[in-house]
């Protein structure tokens, strides 16, 4: 069965291919085509984000409380009548705090912005500190030592008993921590353990590097697949 492709799909896919080539052209050297594509990406992203933020943030979270919204009788779409709504008058406080943030641009009145910023930091810290403590400290500590089963009967990575890998995790974590302990000189057994720590860190960095290479190549592959599919569609 032959698939039909709309003119719109062909047109927009072709634009996508053209912009892909524009961006790749930077690898040869900087040029106006690259600059055009770069500016277009930034402009479209900012424009898209601004509109999205208005309709998904400011409109439902602020304006819908401060003003009366009505539905268009023909399309059913909701719109702002800009008639004040007394029931939600207290929403004026966060609105004023938000506006106060903009005083950062004035030398004379920039002190006002410290109030919303202080409130924001206070709330953020109150929310973040307990969960971060639980999430990144307590659960991780538990996972590193208590959570390990030291099970020698279960086969783990590369067919090696899981218990050995659990020992590797404990030794690797402790030796890495010792590497960052500078109050004692790194020599003798202490220095040897610190050296083991740096090797553990290097293995970690290597894994990150390997994943990063794969990720960057993945992006290139996807663009080539996109161009190939466009080619198949056109010819």
* Interface with another protein (CB under 8 A): 27-28, 45, 48-49, 52-53, 56-57, 60, 77-78, 127-128, 131-132, 134-136, 139-140, 142-144, 147, 169, 204, 207-208, 211-215, 217-225, 228
Cβ contact 227:17 at 8 Å: yes
What's the min distance (Å) between Cβ of 185 and another protein?
A: 29
Cβ closest to another protein, residue 23 vs residue 186: 23
CA 187, distance to chain mean position in Å, is 41
Nearest to 31 by CA among 39, 101, 179: 39
Cβ closest to another protein, residue 46 vs residue 109: 46
Cβ closest to another protein, residue 50 vs residue 89: 50
What's the min distance (Å) between Cβ of 182 and another protein?
A: 24
Rounded to whole angstroms, how far apart are CA atoms 234 and 205? 44
**Looking at the chain, which runs of residues are DSSP E strands?**
67-71, 78-84
Q: Is 222 left (phi over 0), alpha (psi -120 to 50) or beta?
A: alpha
What's the min distance (Å) between Cβ of 164 and another protein?
A: 15
DSSP 62: I
**Tokens matching residue 178:** 């010792």
Rounded to whole angstroms, how far apart are CA atoms 110 and 108? 6
What's the min distance (Å) between Cβ of 190 and another protein?
A: 25
What's the min distance (Å) between Cβ of 3 and another protein?
A: 12
Cβ closest to another protein, residue 79 vs residue 190: 79
Cβ closest to another protein, residue 28 vs residue 105: 28
């Amino acid at each position: 069965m032959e698939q039909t492709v709309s003119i719109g799909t062909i047109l927009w896919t072709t634009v996508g291919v053209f912009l892909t080539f524009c961006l790749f052209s930077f690898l040869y050297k900087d040029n106006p085509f690259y600059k055009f594509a770069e500016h277009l990406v930034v402009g479209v992203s900012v424009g898209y984000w601004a509109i999205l933020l208005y309709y998904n943030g400011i409109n439902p979270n602020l304006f819908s409380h401060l003003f009366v919204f009505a539905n268009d009788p023909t399309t059913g779409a909701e719109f702002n009548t800009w008639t004040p709504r007394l029931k939600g008058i207290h929403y004026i406080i966060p609105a004023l705090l938000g506006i106060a943030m903009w005083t950062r641009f004035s030398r004379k009145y920039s002190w006002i912005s410290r109030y919303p910023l202080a409130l924001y930091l206070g709330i953020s810290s109150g929310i973040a500190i307990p969960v971060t403590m639980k999430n990144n400290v307590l659960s991780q500590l538990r996972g590193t030592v208590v959570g390990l089963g030291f099970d020698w009967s279960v086969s783990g990575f590369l067919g090696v008993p899981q218990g050995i890998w659990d020992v590797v995790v404990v030794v690797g974590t402790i030796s890495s921590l010792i590497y960052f302990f500078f109050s004692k000189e790194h020599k003798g057994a202490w220095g040897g353990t610190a050296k083991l720590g740096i090797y553990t860190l290097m293995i970690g960095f290597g894994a990150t590097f390997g994943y990063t290479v794969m990720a960057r190549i993945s992006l290139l592959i996807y663009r080539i697949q996109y161009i190939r599919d466009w080619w198949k569609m056109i010819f």
